[in-house]
């Protein structure tokens, strides 16, 4: 970088006290990540770059040379797990098509084998069958692209045994502690969810509960005797609670935990001790955890004492639950891994995922709240350039960043995008608009059929709150998002064009009609639900037409940058193509980046670099 370029970039740093860091610092692959421990605790595995793709490495837990056991060069390994003490399983797709295939390899890199190398077929993991040697349960849409059948896979021989035939509407499976398929979740009449159950393998599944999809009953884990289940449910309540339930009737026997503010999101169950340990909710900043076991609570307190300035999580443990892998991080680091010996209460640092990133060079993510025009309380996050606080920030250029999903949520923690933008002198504003998950049924349902309407109003109200607080310079506000966030970006510059100076749409929906016509085949059984959530192409035709940005391109008058993966199975490339064509016909400035080896988002490192370089230049020019 020339001195002139360096000075120009530093001049953009509104905070004035921060270092201008290379773009690659933020978006290069982690040095080491995704650590796991073998069931016997003797080996550690992790993912690290090989020829710019994330591959799997294995090393002795006590120290020693690591061995790379995969050599993927086209695309990073999508995920992996230990099958037993000697063998690991991993997934990969082709150029972002999300048709994941399952492979196996020994811990020394030998006997690499493809188990589900079927073109156009997607593999999902149902159960690792920890107590059943050599076996795992997987789902395949091999027989019918729209539905998944369950199979038992022998990882030694590669033999696949189909366990049931999906009649066309079964969506999810649950096993007991013996690995037996005991429960199925199905969709009936398009918008109703049904739980089917059986006591043993010799029985047929029978319906035990049918609810509207707006209501939730999710079997999370069987009790140790395989008779009852711990279930997450919002039946008769607003927030999802943890209850003890009879799976044969779905009768609620006992409320185990309920939070007045948040849905429960996960539980912690010990296979070794055969005991429910704790339940977890995602809070605004601090997590909410409730313990059912004093021994577990004491263990967590001992672990926390090693990380007073960081939030931690248990990433993995050996089968005996004596050795743990701990992930520690906060909003200013990509994180660290530690090997924790519970017997000795000793934590040893084994990896810094991104050692080139220094916490002191990063910025805080501030939890903030604001109220919408119709009285909803919105939890949001504000990140600012170095040396600024929400109290001292004045008239900043802001990048508004609505999340994807839309039925997902933003959380407090480290974000490469956020840190990069703040390093370049921009404030970043993220909000959990209505429909964001974790805030109860009423908040979720307030988003149904509100794409481009009240959901968008929540974003708009957040921007106006920033302006009223004096934080945002109203003449220098951009909006950027991916997937649904890309839709919200296009909707923002289409329906409130006066708010934004420019926009960046990343794999975003532009036309609600064509979007629902081009969904992946395995989403089609849920299409009636999507009609209830987003809108029906016939019954709600006027509304969908009114809220499809591509059909109102004449309203857009600010420059856009649009990025798209050619193989995106969720948001078809046609969504971006038609938006770009409509804008260019009107003479609106639009940059269009298409990557032929990507799908729903850019995963290959060189493509991430290209996208964020384009973003940096675009914002520097227009904001």
User: Quick one: which of 369, 406, 368, 411 has its CA closest to 489?
Assistant: 406
Residue 160 shares a structural domain with residue 176: no
H or E element at residue 45: strand 43-50
Whose structure tokens read 């279930």? 231
Same domain, yes or no, for 402 and 488?
Answer: yes
Looking at the fold, whether 137 and 191 belong to one and the same domain comes out as no
pLDDT over threshold 90, residue 78? yes
Residues 383 and 424 in one domain: yes
If asked whether residues 247 and 140 sit together in one domain, one would say no
Residues with Cβ within 8 Å of 4's Cβ and at least 6 positions away in sequence, in order, are none
Local structure of 63: helix, strand or coil: coil
User: What is the DSSP secondary structure assignment for residue 599, as one 8-state letter?
Assistant: B
pLDDT of residue 53 exceeding 90, the answer is yes
pLDDT, average across residues 286-298: 97
Supply the pLDDT for residue 247: 98
Give me the number of domains the chain comprises: 3
Report the mean per-residue pLDDT for the chain.
94
Q: For residue 5, what pLDDT is reported?
A: 32
CA distances from 101 to 42, 120, 141, 157, 163 (A): 28, 9, 11, 17, 19
Domain at 276, CATH number = 2.120.10.30
Based on the number of CB atoms within 10 Å of its own CB, is 44 exposed (0-12), middle (13-18) or buried (19 or more)?
buried
Predicted local confidence at residue 6, as pLDDT: 37
Q: 157 Cβ partners below 8 Å, 6+ apart?
A: none
How many angstroms separate the CA atoms of 436 and 455, rounded?
Answer: 10
Which is it for strands 79-82 and 87-92: parallel, antiparallel or unpaired? antiparallel
Residue of 405, 417, 404 whose CA lies nearest to 365: 417
Same domain, 144 and 191: no
**Quick check: 420 pLDDT over 60?**
yes
CA distance 572 to 254: 45
Where is the domain boundary, 102, 137, 164? 164
Per-residue confidence at 2, pLDDT binned at 50, 70, 90?
A: very low
Instruction: Write out pLDDT tens, residues 112-129.
Output: 999 999 999 999 999 999
In which band, very low, low, confident or very high, does the pLDDT at 8 lie, cut at 50, 70 and 90? very low
Same domain, 155 and 173: no
Q: At what angle do helices 454-468 and 484-495 cross, to 10 degrees?
A: 70
* 134 and 175 fall within a common domain: no
**Which tops the pLDDT comparison, 13 or 410?**
410
How many angstroms separate the CA atoms of 448 and 168, rounded? Answer: 26
| pTM > 0.75: yes or no | yes
DSSP per-residue codes, 198-260: -SSTTSPPEEEEEEETTS-EEEEEE-TTSSSEEEEE-TTSSS-EEEEEETTTTEEEEEEE--S
2, 20 Cβ separation under 8 angstroms: no
Region 407-425: what's the mean pLDDT?
Answer: 98
- Strand-pair category, 502-506 with 472-482: parallel
Q: Please identify, among 142, 164, 186, the residue that sits at the C-terminal boundary of a domain.
A: 164
The dihedrals phi and psi of 149, each to the nearest 5 degrees, come to: -100, 145
Q: Would you call 470 exposed, middle or buried from its count of C-beta atoms within 10 A (0-12, 13-18, 19+)? A: exposed
* Cα–Cα distance for residue pair 97/614, rounded to 1 Å: 24
Q: Are residues 388 and 515 in the same domain?
A: yes
Q: With cut-offs at 50, 70 and 90, classify the pLDDT of residue 4.
A: very low
Nearest to 338 by CA among 374, 386, 289, 302: 302
Q: Residue 463 above 90 pLDDT?
A: yes
Cis amide leading into 322 (omega within 30)? no
Q: For position 524, what pLDDT does the model report?
A: 84
CATH number at residue 498: 3.40.50.1820
Q: What is the pLDDT of residues 358-412, one digit of tens each?
A: 999 999 999 999 999 999 999 999 999 999 999 999 999 999 999 999 999 999 9
Considering the domain architecture, whether residues 150 and 177 belong to the same structural domain is answered as no
């Amino acid at each position: 970088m020339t001195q002139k370029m360096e000075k120009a970039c530093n001049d953009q740093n509104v905070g004035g006290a921060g270092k201008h860091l290379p773009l690659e610092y933020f978006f290069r692959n982690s040095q080491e990540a995704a650590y796991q421990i073998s069931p016997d605790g003797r080996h550690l595995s992790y993912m690290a770059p090989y020829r710019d793709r994330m591959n799997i490495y294995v090393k002795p837990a006590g120290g020693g040379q690591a061995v790379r056991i995969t050599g993927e060069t086209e695309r990073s390994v999508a995920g992996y797990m230990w099958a037993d003490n000697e063998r690991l399983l991993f997934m990969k797709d082709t150029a972002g098509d999300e048709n994941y295939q399952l492979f196996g390899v020994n811990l020394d890199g030998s006997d690499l084998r493809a188990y589900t190398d079927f073109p156009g077929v997607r593999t999902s993991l149902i159960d690792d069958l920890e107590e059943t040697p050599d076996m795992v349960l997987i789902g395949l849409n091999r027989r019918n692209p729209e539905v998944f059948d369950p199979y038992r896979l022998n990882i030694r021989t590669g033999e696949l045994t189909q366990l049931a035939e999906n009649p066309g509407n079964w969506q999810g499976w649950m096993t007991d502690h013996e690995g037996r398929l005991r429960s199925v979740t199905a969709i009936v009449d398009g918008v109703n969810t049904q739980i089917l159950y059986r006591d043993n393998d010799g029985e047929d599944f029978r319906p035990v509960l049918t609810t509207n999809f707006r209501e939730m009953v999710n079997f999370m884990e069987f009790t140790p005797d395989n008779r009852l289940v711990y279930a997450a449910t919002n039946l008769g309540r607003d927030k999802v609670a943890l209850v003890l339930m009879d799976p044969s009737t779905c009768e609620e026997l006992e409320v185990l935990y309920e939070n007045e503010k948040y849905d429960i999101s996960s539980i912690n169950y010990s296979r070794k001790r055969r005991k429910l340990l704790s339940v977890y909710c995602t809070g605004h900043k601090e997590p909410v955890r409730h313990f059912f076991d004093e021994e577990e609570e004491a263990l967590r307190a001992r672990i926390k004492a090693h990380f007073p300035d960081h939030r931690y999580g248990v990433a993995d443990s050996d089968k005996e639950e004596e050795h743990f892998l701990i992930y520690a991080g906060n909003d200013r680091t990509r994180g660290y891994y530690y090997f924790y010996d519970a017997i000795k209460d000793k934590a040893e640092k084994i990896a810094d995922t991104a050692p080139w990133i220094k916490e002191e060079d990063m910025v805080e993510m501030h939890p903030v709240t604001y109220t919408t025009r119709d009285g909803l309380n919105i939890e949001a996050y504000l990140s600012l350039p170095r040396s600024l606080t929400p109290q001292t920030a004045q008239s900043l250029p802001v990048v508004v960043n609505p999340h994807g999903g839309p039925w997902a949520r933003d959380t407090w923690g480290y974000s490469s995008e956020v840190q990069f933008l703040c390093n370049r002198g921009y404030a970043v504003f993220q909000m959990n608009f209505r429909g964001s998950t974790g805030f109860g049924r009423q908040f979720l349902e307030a988003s149904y059929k509100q794409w481009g309407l009240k959901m968008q109003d929540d974003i708009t109200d957040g921007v106006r709150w920033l302006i009223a607080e004096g934080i945002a310079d109203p003449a220098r506000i951009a909006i950027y998002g991916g997937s649904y966030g890309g839709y919200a970006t296009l909707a923002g510059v289409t329906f409130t064009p006066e708010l934004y100076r420019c926009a960046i749409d990343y794999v975003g929906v532009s036309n609600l009609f064509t979007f629902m016509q081009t969904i992946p085949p395995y989403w089609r059984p849920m299409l009636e639900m999507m009609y209830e959530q987003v809108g029906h192409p016939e019954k709600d035709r006027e509304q969908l037409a009114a809220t499809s940005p591509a059909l109102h391109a004449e309203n857009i008058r600010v420059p856009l940058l649009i990025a798209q993966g050619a193989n995106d199975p969720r948001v078809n490339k046609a969504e971006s193509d038609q938006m770009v064509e409509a804008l260019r016909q009107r003479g609106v400035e639009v940059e269009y980046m298409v990557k032929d080896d990507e799908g729903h988002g850019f995963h290959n490192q060189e493509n991430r670099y290209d996208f964020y370089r384009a973003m940096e230049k675009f914002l520097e020019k227009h904001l």
